[in-house]
C-alpha cells in the first residue's frame, strides 16, 4: 500500500531550526561566560598584585614617615636647645651689662669669673670703705653670701677678691 500525498515530503531533521537557534545561543552564552570568567580571574590576579605592591609602598612610606618624625623631633629638640642657649646668652649679656653698670668709676675690675650660682670679682679699689659702700652693698642684695678679701698694694690702693654665691634651691651652696 502506497500512500499518496499532496505535498512533497521533506526531510525531517533530528533537531529543529528553533532548537538549533537555542543551542547556538546557549553555546554563545557559555563562551561569553567562560571569557568573562577568564577576564575576572585576570583582573583579580592583577588586583592582588596591585594590593601587594601598594602594601609595600605603604610600609615604605610609613617607615619614611617614622624617620621624618624622628628627624623633626631631633630638629625641635635642637631648636629648643638653641632657643635656651640664646635666652641664656641674652640673660648673661644683660647680667654682665648690669654688673658693669653696677661697678662705680672709682673701682677697677681686673677679672670677673661668673658661674651658674657664683660670681668672683678681682679688682682694685681706693679704699675698703669705697668698695663696701659702692659695690659690696648691691652685691649683698643680689647674692646670698658675699665675702671680700682685701690686699694692700704698694701704691696704697686695695686689691680685692669678692666671692659672691647664691644658695641653690635645694639649700646647698654651690
SS3 sequence, 150-172?
EEECCCCCEEEEEEEECECCCCC
Asked if CATH classification 3.40.50 holds for the domain at 105-174, the reply, yes or no, is no
What band does 104 get if pLDDT is binned at 50, 70 and 90?
A: confident
What is the residue extent of each domain of the chain? Answer: 16-102, 105-174
* pLDDT tens figures, 108-165: 889 988 887 888 999 999 988 888 888 888 888 888 888 999 998 898 899 999 999 8
d(CA 129, CA 50): 90
pLDDT (tens digit per residue) in 38-81:
999 999 999 999 999 999 999 999 999 999 999 999 999 999 99
The phi and psi torsions of 144 (rounded to 5 degrees) equal -75, -40
Amino acid at each position: 500500500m502506497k500512500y499518496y500525498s499532496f505535498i512533497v515530503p521533506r526531510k525531517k531533521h533530528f533537531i529543529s531550526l528553533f532548537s538549533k537557534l537555542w543551542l547556538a545561543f546557549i553555546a554563545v552564552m557559555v563562551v561569553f561566560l567562560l571569557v568573562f570568567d577568564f577576564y575576572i580571574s585576570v583582573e583579580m590576579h592583577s588586583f592582588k598584585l596591585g594590593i601587594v605592591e601598594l602594601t609595600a609602598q605603604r610600609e615604605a612610606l610609613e617607615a619614611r614617615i617614622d624617620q621624618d618624625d624622628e628627624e623633626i623631633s631631633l630638629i625641635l629638640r635642637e631648636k629648643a636647645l638653641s632657643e635656651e642657649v640664646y635666652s641664656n646668652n641674652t640673660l648673661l649679656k644683660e647680667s654682665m651689662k648690669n654688673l658693669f653698670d653696677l661697678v662705680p668709676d672709682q673701682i677697677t675690675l681686673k677679672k670677673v669669673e661668673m658661674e651658674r650660682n657664683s660670681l668672683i670679682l678681682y679688682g682694685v679699689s681706693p679704699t675698703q670703705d669705697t668698695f663696701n659702700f659702692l659695690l659690696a652693698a648691691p652685691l649683698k642684695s643680689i647674692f646670698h653670701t658675699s665675702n671680700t678679701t682685701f690686699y694692700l698694694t704698694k701704691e696704697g690702693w686695695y686689691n680685692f677678691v669678692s666671692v659672691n654665691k647664691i644658695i641653690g634651691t635645694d639649700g646647698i651652696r654651690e
